[in-house]
């Protein structure tokens, strides 16, 4: 039942216990008990809304930063990653394979604030060797949800 509940949550984090119980054909109290276990075990850490930034009064500046670091003896990448993910600008931080070690998703109010974060906070951390920053220009899909309205999507004319 745990995996079934998690799958329903991935589709709709607002699904009620009653809706989930109905879909799984189990009593509602069993769903509530399973939720309590999932939250206590920290399997479920939170619930999030997917927001279309184009609908906001002021769009936040979002970026993806590739970070190359030197791992620390006995703790590897964890200690430096912790320094990075504790910044309020950091929304997501992953250890990755490839040319860089970490990928960091950041959000700031303005481009200047995002640039200041990279220059004054991230790049100055000891053992951060290099960064490569990419700013998100437009979101089309996030967490499996299409954001960009396809009906309004028109190609801009190209002139010679």
Digit-coded pLDDT (tens) for 127-153: 999 999 999 999 999 888 898 766 555
Flag whether 152 is in a domain.
no
Q: Could you give the number of structural domains in the chain?
A: 2
Digit-coded pLDDT (tens) for 28-84: 999 999 999 999 999 999 888 888 888 888 889 999 999 999 998 998 999 999 999
pTM strictly above 0.85 = no
Contact of 104 with 65, CB cutoff 8 Å: yes
Digit-coded pLDDT (tens) for 40-50: 999 999 888 88
Shared domain for 62 and 117, answered yes or no, is yes
Range of the domain at 87: 53-142
Q: For residue 133, what are the CA distances in angstroms to 5, 91, 100, 106, 137?
A: 37, 15, 12, 10, 13
Shared domain for 61 and 119, answered yes or no, is yes
Helices (H), 12-154: 17-24, 28-40, 78-85, 111-116
Shared domain for 102 and 129, answered yes or no, is yes
Nearest to 38 by CA among 64, 80, 68, 8: 8
Shared domain for 36 and 59, answered yes or no, is no
Across the chain, mean pLDDT equals 91
């Amino acid at each position: 039942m745990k995996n079934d509940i998690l799958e329903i949550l991935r589709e709709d984090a607002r699904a009620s216990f009653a809706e989930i119980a109905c879909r799984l054909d189990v009593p509602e109290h069993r769903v509530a008990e399973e939720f309590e276990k999932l939250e206590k075990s920290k399997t479920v850490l939170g619930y999030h809304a997917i927001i279309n930034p184009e609908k906001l009064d002021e769009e936040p500046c979002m970026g993806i930063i590739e970070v190359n670091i030197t791992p620390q003896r006995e703790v590897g990448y964890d200690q430096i990653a912790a320094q990075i993910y504790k910044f309020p600008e950091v929304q997501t931080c992953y250890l990755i394979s490839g040319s860089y070690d970490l990928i960091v998703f950041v959000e700031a109010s303005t481009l200047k604030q995002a640039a200041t974060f990279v220059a004054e906070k991230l790049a100055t951390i000891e053992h951060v060797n290099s960064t490569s920053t990419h700013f998100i220009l437009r979101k089309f899909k996030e967490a499996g949800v299409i954001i960009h309205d396809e009906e309004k999507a028109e190609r801009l004319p190209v002139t010679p």
